[in-house]
Amino acid sequence: MFRLLLAAAVIALAPAAHAADAKQMDENRKVVLQFYEAAINQKDFDAAAKFLGPRYTQHNPRAADGLEGLKAFLAFLRDKFPEYHSDIKRAFTDGDYVILHVHNMPTPGSRGNAIVDIFKLENGKIVEHWDVRQEIPEQSANSNTMF
């Protein structure tokens, strides 16, 4: 009987690790959603910086590296595109990564851009960012929209 219990206990341990991963991934998702709102929609660097780790490795070719690069980018948006806004259409998580599929409108009512943002997190903080951005064309070969 002890052996049976032990076997059950060992089986039960495996999910504990999964549950921990799932919990961290859920936390990561929340961190990125809060960061995104603070940074992109509010353009509030101080509020956004709370979600960043000690580095912010930037792969967007239009933004300088690091936290200072993000600060400069948000200042640019605030100055030139004060109503720049992104709606999150889908959010995915996988391990240390959170991926957002968003509809970005530089100015209100503009057709805007489709963007996918990829964030890497360490210890629940954002440390790296990639994105890909495409202008939504006026015409499409299908009627499904880019989202």
Residue number, 47 or 63, with CB nearest to a copy of itself: 63
Closest approach of a copy of itself to the CB of residue 28, in Å: 12
**What are the φ/ψ torsions at residue 86 (nearest 5 degrees)?**
-125, 130
Query: From residue 41, how far is each of 51, 86, 87, 106, 125 by CA, in Å?
Result: 15, 7, 9, 11, 19
Is residue 115 within the footprint of a copy of itself (CB under 8 A)?
yes
Query: From residue 102, how far is each of 21, 55, 86, 122, 131 by CA, in Å?
Result: 25, 24, 6, 23, 11
Is residue 97 within the footprint of a copy of itself (CB under 8 A)?
yes
Stretch that binds a copy of itself, among 11-19, 36-44, 45-53, 80-88 (CB under 8 A): 11-19
Structure tokens at 30: 């929340």
Residue number, 81 or 92, with CB nearest to a copy of itself: 92
Tell me, letter by letter, the H, E, C secondary structure of 40-72: HHCCCHHHHHCCEEEEEEECCCCCCCHHHHHHH
What is d(CA 54, CA 39) in angstroms, rounded to the nearest whole number? 17
Binder of a copy of itself out of 26, 75, 92, 124 (CB under 8 A): 92
Is residue 80 within the footprint of a copy of itself (CB under 8 A)?
no
Is residue 4 within the footprint of a copy of itself (CB under 8 A)?
yes
Q: What would you report as the CA-atom Rg of the chain, rounded to the nearest whole angstrom?
A: 19
Residue number, 93 or 121, with CB nearest to a copy of itself: 93
Sites of contact with a copy of itself (CB under 8 A): 1, 4-5, 8-9, 11-12, 14-15, 18-19, 22, 57-65, 69, 90, 92-94, 97, 99, 101, 114-116, 118, 130, 132-134, 136-137, 139-147
